[in-house]
Structure 1
Amino acid sequence: MSDNILSTGQTLSLTITTNTNSFASERRFAANVTICELKAKLELITGANSDTMTIQLLDNNQEVVAQLDDNSRQLQSYLIDNQNKVNIHVIDSQKSIGEFEDVSNVEKFELPQEDYEKRTDSVLAFKMNNKLGRFAQIDGAGDNTDDQMTECDINVGQRCEVCVKGAAKRRATVQYVGTTRFKPGLWIGVEYDEPLGKNDGSVDGHRYFQCKPKYGGFIRPNDVIIGDFPEMGDTDEDI
């Protein structure tokens, strides 16, 4: 190679492949870098060990042109004059193919569930705050979802006050406690003191209790307060 490369400080564009992974890297190096210096730099790029490293010079068809095996020689001495793009392939005899792409043997960090649930920047916290997924609020439910409830301290025949968030209070008598076909979870069927409901104790053709039309409604347990409430009418929405 001609001496004008040294005087101008020419750099070379290297496309680097290796037997330890399936992807190529592109770097720029000074044309006058020695093979020993190049190996040290390639250690950081490929993970190959410079002591067990073999560097092959490739042509554009990925055919081997030369072995860069003289540590004291400069990289440019292996090249054709004015060549500024170089393909090299790094082989480390002590490394296996795809070694640095196999993560099966990498020790993984797992955050304990208890600690994860305390985080405020997690996906779980986002879902809880935005009532997504299993935290979705069903129409007519209060702030606390109770889809998984199967029992409560509310009994048929008790007087109650229905307090759905954002709506006026209504008074009623409990007529049904249990699960339903229309939505999962535990529901309280009530007979309102006035015709402020949406049904007669049946929903979608299935009867849960009997009352006059427009006097029946279904509410989540969290929206029902049991007490000695006298008859009183108000307006609200329910199922």
Structure 2
Amino acid sequence: MAQEFSVVTQSMVGVTITSSANTFGSERRFPKDITIADLKGKLVLLTGADVGSMKLELYTNENKLVCPIDNDNALLGSYPIDDGMRLHVIDPNAKLGEFEDVSKVEKFELSAEEYAKRGDSVRAFKERNKMGRFREITPEEKQRQEEEQRVKEEQDKAAVEAMKIGDRCEVSVPGQPARRGCVKYAGLTEFNSGYWVGVQYDEPVGKNNGSVKGKQYFQCPDKYGGFVKPENVQVGDFPEEGFEDMEDDEM
């Protein structure tokens, strides 16, 4: 008895859609049993092209033209289309980028005063529910916050007073790798409240040359300086990391 065989092909195909009206493309999947007429209807929403004048071309992923897709009654799968190919939409009446020019879009603008008067805004919701900056702070909570701030400032002051200019240190800021350097400044600053430590890093991983907002707190090469809070600075025996250390690690 002869055994029957059948060829099974994918029912969906993934292609890149480009258009003569847009400078960008998008990836979409379509069923192979969709008619070209129905496909054009979907492409109107993607490209803004006019379905009445729309023309389609099929390209390989190497940008070589395979064939035009010009029979509205045919099925998409009747054309030699495969995953990764490009389907180019041509609209003779469209200009390249005309749907991307946001300068032609009328913008809705609302002044701060008008926004504050609205009762359906996020601001109004937060104000009604005492959330965020509209939250009422009790006298006890305010006193607790002030006490925590005072203790924090005393701890920072003690930390910077224990440091000496030239001390080797390691800076560990949350979310960043540890960086080594030396202490070049420790104390109050004009650019922000509280106590700060000025560090000259061993590598150009800083943000300045020891100067912030026009005031020079210490001297160092550009991009080697930075200011961090005292709790992120540990003073100790932190030798400069260099090529010798790397060679030792490889031995």
Task: State the TM-score, normalized to the length of structure 2.
Answer: 0.43
If each structure's helix is expressed as a fraction of its own residues, which one has the higher value? 2
Higher relative contact order (CA 8 A, sep 6+): 1
Larger Rg: 1
Task: State the TM-score, normalized to the length of structure 1.
Answer: 0.45
